Structure 1
Amino acid sequence: MQRQVENNRSFCEEVDEEIIHDQTVLNADHIGTNIEQLKPGDHIAWERSYIIWHHAIVESCYKDLKVIEFSEEDGVFKVHHKCITNIASENDRLFRINYPKPVIDGNPPDVVLDRANQMIKQHERYNLFSNNCEHLATYCKTGKRTSYQVKWAKKKAVEVACVSMISATCEGVKAVAEHGIRARTVFAASKSVPTKAAPQVGQTLARNTSVSRGAGKIASKSSRLSKIVDKFGTGLRICYEVWCAGNDIYKYAQQRDKGFISGSHANQLLTERVSEGIIGGIASHYGGALALKHGALLGAKIGSLAGPVGTAVGAVAGSVVGVFVGSFASTSVGKCIGNVVGRLLGRWCWW
């Protein structure tokens, strides 16, 4: 049996990984409580209400559902046998993950179950990023450990980081330019103040008038600059989010056309992605603005210890760091909330 496992692992590595990816990440049949549709060796997954999917391998499905999974037992996360007597209590959003025929033919049920039992004997340790329940199930079915949830999380982290970098860069440019305008205007105003001997009253009036004009110029130029940079940054963030969403939606359409997923499933995924983009964008805008204000105040306070120059530098640095951190955190939370909302809307509209 061990030799058969090794031979089938080699066979699976020759299969197009993109096909396996398309099938395992999207092509799933809703089973619900109808466990009679399952058979030993099937890869199943429960869609939890908090984004995460929990994966397992079916050991038997006669009367009760017996699975091999990575979960907590006696306070320790490990691979073990589990008997589920009440499917509804677990979660009625139970799915069977479908694989291409070459993968199924190269990895028969006895090989799949043998791999699962070997993992029990080897006392596999749980690791969220490299050895979770999905790694277990995909390894047993294909001979390769893969977690598409981890890949999805990494992809979203890159998207959020790019949006945050755009926001932070625009804010940095705006802050530096505003301080440059202020410095140039004040310098020009100071040159217009009389320097030769003159009555004290005249000097004071001239100085006040010049400074007032300088302050007006600063406010006017800063306002125009802020509007330009804000519009540019907002447009850039929208374009990037539309590009990311469009790329995902295009892939959904391709997989639907290839027959990997149904039309209703594609529509549900479309709903999730659009909801994620809208709510994530709103959260990014308001979260970044809030973080900008507090970051600038904190930076200026710390920088004031080094004098006026330190205050200015601290305000700029604080605003940039604040926008990045705030945008990253708020966009991450917003996208997660958007995904959940979109999933619920997708269920209601298309299932």
Structure 2
Amino acid sequence: MAFRSLRHQTHVQADVTDEALEELLLDNERAIIEAQRARIVFERQDFNTRNAAFENEPKHAFQARGNRTKIDKNNVGVLQPGDHVSWHRNYIIWHHAIVLKVDRHRNKLFVIQWQKVNDGNSKGNIVEQWIDSVSQKGEFYRIDYENDVTESNPHALVLYRARCEVGKTNYQYLKNNGETFATFCKTGNRDGCQENWFTKIVQEALIVAEIR
């Protein structure tokens, strides 16, 4: 398959240029699109992801998937295009992004993510940008998905979805945020732990109120 070729090439050619990597990504995206024209990539499908999206999560809901791997900020070379990454900011804040390119020599990542906009008219928009891994605040993680999910949603398809989201502006804390964006890119649906976490908190508060 084309996506396996992309994965192999990006690992073997560690010093590949940005231009060459971009060409590889575009070639593989075309192959994925042509091979799956009949497949609806923007709506949840049974073959895109498991029905129980969070079956491996801890019983207590929180704002990031329990299936994650901590990444050394000085070793971003372990990441690859299409990975879902997240930084645990202060307290309960998690910031999410999809990796587009990896510069392991300078520890930089080219990502697609939500970014704040200080224009008074929007809460943010989805952008493509280079970021310095070391300067990012919080512990750094790769969010891991089950094998059947990654096999049904190859990296080229993940990148295609992510690029189609660039420029969108309707940010919402629970329904349309960094996590739901990244989860959609990886699985084809917009389920998120933040909404589960908030629902759990509300339910617990209601139970306490009833007891009192």
TM-score by length of 1: 0.43
Q: Deviations over 1:277-324 (max 9, x none)?
A: xxxxxxxxxxxxxxxxxxxxxxxxxxxxxxxxxxxxxxxxxxxxxxxx
RMSD: 2.3
Shift of 1:120: 1.3
Report the structure number with the largest CA radius of gyration: 1
Which of 57, 79, 89 is 1:48 aligned to? 89
- Structure 1 residues 131-170: aligned runs within 5 Å: 131-167=176-212
Which residue identity does 2:57 align to in structure 1? Answer: D
Matched, 1:80 2:127: yes
Between the aligned partners of 1:53 and 1:159, the Cα distance in structure 2 is: 22
Shift of 1:146: 1.3
Which residue identity does 1:156 align to in structure 2? Answer: I
Matched, 1:61 2:102: yes
Matched, 1:29 2:69: yes
Quote the residue 1:95 is aligned against: 141
Q: Deviations over 1:237-285 (max 9, x none)?
A: xxxxxxxxxxxxxxxxxxxxxxxxxxxxxxxxxxxxxxxxxxxxxxxxx
Matched, 1:3 2:43: no
Q: Deviations over 1:51-82 (max 9, x none)?
A: 12111100111132111001214544011112
Between the aligned partners of 2:194 and 2:174, the Cα distance in structure 1 is: 9
SS in 1 for 2:135: helix
Say if 1:4 and 1:111, in contact at 8 Å, map to a contact too: no
Q: Which has the higher contact order (CA 8 A, sep 6+)?
A: 2
| Structure 1 alignment gaps of length 5 or more | 168-351
- Structure 1 residues 316-335: aligned runs within 5 Å: none
Q: Would the alpha carbon gap of residues 132 and 19 (structure 1) be closer, same or farther in structure 2, given more than 3 Å must change?
A: closer
Say if 1:57 and 1:69, in contact at 8 Å, map to a contact too: yes
Q: Deviations over 1:112-148 (max 9, x none)?
A: 0110111115x24111121011010000000000110
| Structure 2 alignment gaps of length 5 or more | 1-32, 59-63
Between the aligned partners of 1:132 and 1:112, the Cα distance in structure 2 is: 17
SS in 2 for 1:17: coil
- Structure 1 residues 103-252: aligned runs within 5 Å: 103-120=149-166, 123-167=168-212
Shift of 1:19: 5.2
TM-score by length of 2: 0.70
Q: Would the alpha carbon gap of residues 111 and 148 (structure 1) be closer, same or farther in structure 2, given more than 3 Å must change?
A: same
Q: Would the alpha carbon gap of residues 106 and 161 (structure 1) be closer, same or farther in structure 2, given more than 3 Å must change?
A: same
Between the aligned partners of 1:110 and 1:4, the Cα distance in structure 2 is: 17
Between the aligned partners of 1:113 and 1:143, the Cα distance in structure 2 is: 12
Which residue identity does 2:113 align to in structure 1? Answer: E
Shift of 1:165: 2.2
SS in 2 for 1:6: coil
Structure with greater helix percent: 1
Shift of 1:37: 1.0
Which residue identity does 1:58 align to in structure 2? Answer: V
Between the aligned partners of 1:97 and 1:151, the Cα distance in structure 2 is: 17
